[in-house]
Structures are given as structure tokens and as C-alpha cells.
Chain A
């Protein structure tokens, strides 16, 4: 796990604030308003607290308009581009969407070393982010994972709590409903893993017709017990209401259900699927707005800011140099490091999402998956 070791390698903490305050002089040639697009909810709150509020404190004249459209960002940016009127300045998207936006020429290609701040020890940004820069347009922020939660009180008596991803498919040991995402991504991979395919072969198998059928056949074994979700909030709700015994969702959602809301829910880290979330800057922004956005992004993705974000939400900062700075939860005061998907204890068995594969196979496998669902 190159990615993990990179993120985890301890690096002496340094004060990043000082090095950056100079960069944020209020200039006339910068627009005074930014429209930032994000996901809403707790995640957007963490961005507001960790990035936007400190930035606005340093630049009193600047205001930020938030738009909670990240889920439809690609479609909306495409429509804006066709209409010739881009109203967004900065957009938070998952890495797969960043790839698509870059492909379509809708996102600006950036020079990461030029645009972003170096680590406190001088490591250039491109090394600090490392492999997480999956596209020339993508400015990584966090590593999150899709993983599985379960009701601790519904584990059958005399049985150990599930610790293996394949508990999802084991209806005998763990009877009860499951909730899985209503799309092939992640679901098909887990099905193959639990059907005995080795981790490194999953995408090779999934590329074949037989492999896809094999994954669907595995899902057939639990299909009567599955509730399919489409919003990240569904599984925590289904778990909290006791509608399902196990379900997949993002690790931050489970953290908030377990730790912040104290629900009888446990979570697995086994075969958690890593994914990235970050910024893209829309292509062809007017100069003044672009100058403002660049200034903001430089600030918002520096080592300290990314570490600060982890106070509010349990997603791992994308910079290697931020990891040692991750502190305590802003309200509960607990250590956040053990709740990060990238923590060595949690990252013993992880699965890396293959963007290239899904860019190619998404349409095809999705058609089959939806036809299978509709049967």
C-alpha cells in the first residue's frame, strides 16, 4: 500500500500558517465573490470551518456562495459550458468525475507545483500529494472510503461480530437485510472478492463477460435481502431504524452515526474501497475570478488546512505532510487519527478503485446491472 505509507509517513509538523498568510494579500485584481460547489451536509460544513472561514477572516472583503450541486456537477458544468456561461468558480468532485471533466475539457489543467503550496518542509506539492493526483485537473483534498456498517444489537447470539467483507454475502451466519448502492461500482468488486477472486485480479475478471455474470450470480444469492440505496444518507438511516442489518456507505457517515449520534452500529474496515475527493477549477474562467480561486485553493489545500478539516469529519487528508497534524474532534475532543480510513490499523486490507476501468466499462456494466436489477 504505497498510497497509505505515503500518507502515514511521519513528517515533522511545522507551522504552515505563517508561510501562507503572506500569499493572501487582498488584491484589486481578484474578484471579491466566489461560488464554490460542494456536497452539502457535514462535509461542506467541514470545508466551511476549515477553509472558508479562516480565509474570509484573512480577506475581509471576500464572500463565498455555496452551491450544493456536486452530485450533478459534471452534467451541470457541461450545460453551463454549452450555454457559454460558467457561474461556478470552484467545484468539489470525486476523482472519477474529475477525470471525466478533464476528458471533456470542462476542467482546467493545473500545474500542481505552481498552484499549490509546498509542504512545510519544502516538499513540492506534487510529491506531497503523490499518486493521489490522478488527473491533471484534479486537486485532491481527502481520501474517503466506502465501507460496511452493521447493527451491533442484531448480531445473532453466540456469533462473533462480522469482521470480513464477505459477511455481506453470508446470510446463514448473519441473517437480515443488507443495503447496497444502486450502481455496479464497488458492489461488483465486492461480489467478486467474496466469490474467491484474488484482489489483484478483480478488474481483469470484471472486464470479461463471464466475470460480470459471475459477479451478478454472486449478488443473486442475496438479492431478495437487499435494499438498494442511492443517497449516502440512506444506509445510516436504514441502520438506525433497524431496517437493515448491514449496509455500505461512506466511512464519514458511519463515524457520525456511531460516534456523534451514539447509535448501536459497528463498522468494518475490511476491503474498504478508497476513493478521492478534491477540487477542480472550471475551464475558461475570467481572469479576476481565476486569480481569486487560485489564491483560495492555495490556502485551502495547504498542509495545515487539510489537517484542520479532519477535526470536523473523519476523512483522511490527501497530503502526506498533513497526516501527523491530524488532531482531535472539534466538539467531542476524541483523537481523530484512529477513525481515518488511512490509519494503518484500518488500512490493513483495502481496495483501490480503478478509475480507468470504470471510465471504460461504466456504460456497459451499468446497463447489465440495471437490467439485472429490473428482472
Chain B
């Protein structure tokens, strides 16, 4: 094979040998892949995909633009640095967006989301949601007085349905699907008329939303239901335009009579002023702070959660440090890393002699000792942690014994738990087997003759241990340390029970945000950071010690 210019070697079947070999290898690889495919699929479906989707939440922020699609667009041009409020157009979009969201019961979810960034928005959205009907009734009542037909659901249906509005219908349907997550592709029994969509755009749009809601959410028939208050508000707004009123004068289709009545009695309708209506519903709407927050968080993806996770915040003026009395996460990350290191260190100190004994005692004794190591390993984590509580508390067993022996004064009992000490003691005990077992399996493979040889060559006990035995046991320390450290960094039950306030870890805050505050975005950001920290440490360990030097067994 030294000369490549020669004719390629041919296999028995007449193909070039190289190709034939590659083919065989490929087949082998595929077979191997097929063998592990079930496992791979299982891990993907149950582990990797859920984790990725959870981590994805740390940047995802579509809820704002999904709930207030038009408002967000209209708000883009507003300059939050000025002291002026957004103009009426933004409030008008807000009304129709929010009305739709309230009917879909999505508005208060947005309030919860924005409340993470600005306190008080939760109730702004909730309270306003209850007032939206009133804001539309202001127009509904006079319109119904002007012409009876406006009371009639079938009349509205007849007036606004027609031909050519498929595009409008589809775009509204897409927005609805983004808002609620429910999509329905089929016929809803209503197509807006394109003529009406041109003449009365806001009315038609609101009615189309109403039609989609009626069919998709309520499972009713559009023509039989009375329209939303927002449809009346839309008509009142459309009628404000002189051009529209002129167009109605020359309009002769369905509902022409009622519309003409409305134009004739236009002065009976209250003036459309959404800004004032929102100000009345909740005065926060007329503060620039609120709108600045909405604007900053209107992007589909936000670095906001990650910034929060490192004690920063996204404000209209850019990224800023959080007020000092709210900074907590950096401190918790540091503490978690530091305490995980301390726990790993104390596991090495305590575990090394035990592993040495296990590896060097006669079989019978070693087996008994092994059971003592494994027994706590088989006991429930909660039971062990609770047992530590009994031992460590101020009126607990350890303090009682110390007082009885006279080492400690009864009035000054040691505080061993509800602080960092408690977490370190309990977690060292709980994680100790993860240090002892890899150490033991490595030590088992170190021939005792090496130590004897060293000694026979004149080494002292210490030199023989330190220069000969210890270096050979380092792979066990490495494996044990990685196991203990990585387990410790994500621990949360033990710190929660015995950690008090200064013994808790970052995982306790992650758990809090997952199950209590429901700020999953922040929890995901904290979790992502923790994952990255672990990976970076692993990488650093590989660079410094070398991962090949780690042995989990002989």
C-alpha cells in the first residue's frame, strides 16, 4: 500500500478494497447505532428534550407580543425617554388586544409575567380585564337605542359576513392561535366581507375575532350569538372618520339602514377616548413607567431572565445593577460553589482512611465495614436528613452529650444546624459513600507489594505513602471528587431542611421559582447558569488533571 499510484486493490466481489471496507464499517456502525437506538431515543425524549425546552424558557418572552400583538407594534415608535405618554392609537390597539385576551382568559397571565419586572402590573391587568366590557357598553347602549337591529346577533352576522375576507380571517386566526395555543383549522361558518373590512375596519376585525372565539372556544354558532362589546366600540371608532360616514351614505348592502341611522345620530355617541377610559379603569395605564416596561419586554426573546439571575435588570435606560437590597443570586452561586468545595474536601478527608481500611483489612472485616458504608446509602435521603436534625438541634443528642460531659455550658449550647455548619455536616455524611466507593475500587488495585518494596528500599512510612501509594490513589480521589462535587452543587432537600438561611443553595431558589413564584423563566436562567458552571468546571478539571486519570473502578 506504499504506492498509491498503483491500481487500487480489489476485493473478492470486484469492488475496490477501500470502498468495500468502508461499506463494511458503515454497516457495522449502523448496526451498533440500531442497538443503542432505543436507549438514545429514550434519553432524548425523557431527558434531553425536556431539559432543552426548560432551558429555552430562560430567553423566551413571546407572551407579550402574543397577547398584545398590535399594541406592541404601535408602541415601537414611542420614545420612553420622553415624558409623554404613548398616543391614543396605542391605547386603541391596547383595548382591542386586551379585550380579546380577556375573553381568552390570557390577560392576567401576561400581568403575572410583567409583574416580575414591575410590581403592581398583575393587578393592573386583572382589574382592567374586568372593566373592558364597561368600556364597550358605553357605545353599545346608545347604538342599540339608535337602531334596534344592533341588539340582534343575526343582524351583525348578516351585515359583516360576505366574500373576500378570507385573508383577514386567516390572519386573525393565526393571531388567535398564538394567543391561546389552541388552533382550529376548519370552517368557522363566517367569512368577513371585504367591502365591510374596507369601510369599517375596526368593527370587522373585532367581529372576526369574536367569530373565531365563538366557534373555537365556546363551540357555538356565530350568527346566534350577540357580539362582544368591543365590536360596538369598533363601530363607534370607525364612525368617527368623516370618510367612513360619507362611504356609508353611498352604501347599500346589508345593514345599510342601521348604519345610516347611526351616522345620522352620530352626535348621540360618546366620543371615543380609550386613553381616558384606561386611565379611569386603572391610573397606572397613564404612567410612562408602565409603558416603558411593556416596551422593554415586548421582544420575543429577552435577556431579562438571565440578567435577573445575576442580580442585574433590564430597564428602559439599559442594563443596570439591581438595588442592593434585592441582590441575592450571585451571593448564592458563590456560596453554593464554596460549600460544595468544602463538602468535597471533608468527604476526601473522612473517606480516604475508610477506603484504605476497606481495601487493606482482611476480607471478613472489610465486608462488615462495607455494609456499614452501604447501609446509610440505602436509607432514604429524607430519613437521614431528619435524623441529623434530631442530632444537631440545640436540644439535640450532640448538644445534650456535650453538656452532660461538661464541655459546653447549658446556656450556650452550640448552634449546629439551621446554618451552613448543619448543611456541611449533613451533606458530607450523605455524600460520603460516593467518595468511599470509587476510592476503594481504585485502592483495591494498588498492589500492597509496592509499599513493602518502597519500605525495603529505605523509605519512611510517610514517604512510602506519599510518594508511592498516594499518587496511585489519585484517580480515585478525582472520580470521587467529581461525583461528590457535582451532586452537591445541585442539592436542595438537605439544605432546605437543615440549612436555615445561610446554609441554602442556589437550587433552593430554583425550586422556589419553579413551584411557588412560578417564575419559570428565572428558574430556567438560574438552572442554565448552574449547568454551564458545572460544565466549565468539568472542562477545567479535564485540562488540569485529565479526565483519563479518573477511575470509577479497577
Interface residues of A (CB under 8 A from B): 71-72, 74-75, 78, 100, 103-105, 177, 182, 213, 227-228, 230, 241-243, 356, 359-364, 366-368, 370-374
Contact = CB atoms under 8 A, between A and B. Distances in A.
Interface of B: 104-106, 108-109, 111-112, 115-116, 119-123, 126, 325-328, 331-332, 393-396, 418, 496, 500-502, 509, 514-519
Given A366-B517, A373-B501, A374-B502, A103 B123 contact: no
B333 to A, nearest CB: 12
A75 B514 contact: yes
Contacts of A370: 328, 509
B119 A371 contact: no
A371 B120 contact: no
Contact of B105 (A105, A230, A374): A105
Given A359-B122, A367-B328, A104 B108 contact: yes
B515 A363 contact: no
Given A177-B394, A372-B325, A373-B501, 12 more contacts: A74-B515, A105-B108, A228-B418, A241-B396, A242-B395, A360-B122, A363-B517, A364-B119, A368-B325, A370-B509, A371-B325, A374-B328
B120 A103 contact: no
A105 B518 contact: no
Nearest to B390: A241
Contacts of A71: 515
A242 B517 CA distance: 33
Contact of A374 (B120, B395, B501): B501
Contacts of B326: 367-368, 371
A193 B488 CA distance: 41
A355 to B, nearest CB: 10
Contacts of B104: 105
A227 B509 contact: no
Contact of B123 (A75, A228, A359): A359
A72 B126 CA distance: 23
A74 B518 contact: yes
Contact of B518 (A100, A182, A364, A371): A100
Contacts of A362: 517
Given A242-B395, A243-B393, A360 B123 contact: yes
9 contacts: A71-B515, A74-B518, A103-B111, A104-B108, A105-B104, A227-B500, A366-B517, A368-B325, A372-B325
Sort A-B residue pairs by CB-CB distance and give the 6 closest, nearest first.
Answer: A103-B108, A105-B105, A364-B119, A75-B515, A373-B501, A371-B328
A342 B74 CA distance: 53
A326 B525 CA distance: 50
A75 B520 CA distance: 9
Contact of B501 (A100, A228, A363): A228
Nearest to B517: A363
A276 B515 CA distance: 20
Contacts of A372: 325
Contacts of A75: 514-516, 518
| Majority secondary structure, A binding face | helix
Contacts of B122: 103, 359-360
Nearest to B504: A374
B120 A360 contact: yes
Nearest to A358: B122
Contacts of A242: 395
Given A105-B105, A359-B122, A364-B119, A230 B496 contact: yes
A363 B418 contact: no
A361 B331 contact: no
A152 B257 CA distance: 83
Nearest to A177: B394
A227 B389 CA distance: 13
Contacts of B516: 75
B46 to A, nearest CB: 13
B443 to A, nearest CB: 41
A361 B496 contact: no
B177 to A, nearest CB: 15
Interface centre among B106, B120, B122 (most CB of A within 10 A): B122
Contacts of B502: 374
B119 A361 contact: yes
B509 to A, nearest CB: 7
Nearest to A238: B393
B115 A363 contact: yes
Contact of B519 (A104, A230, A363): A363
A103 B332 contact: no
Nearest to A73: B515
Nearest to A81: B181
Nearest to A372: B325
Given A78-B518, A366-B517, A371 B111 contact: no
Nearest to B522: A363
B325 A103 contact: no
B501 A103 contact: no
A366 B517 CA distance: 9
B393 A371 contact: no
Contacts of B123: 356, 359-360
Given A74-B518, A104-B109, A371-B325, A241 B500 contact: no
Given A243-B394, A363-B119, A368-B326, A228 B331 contact: no
A103 B112 contact: yes
Given A242-B395, A356-B123, A374 B331 contact: yes
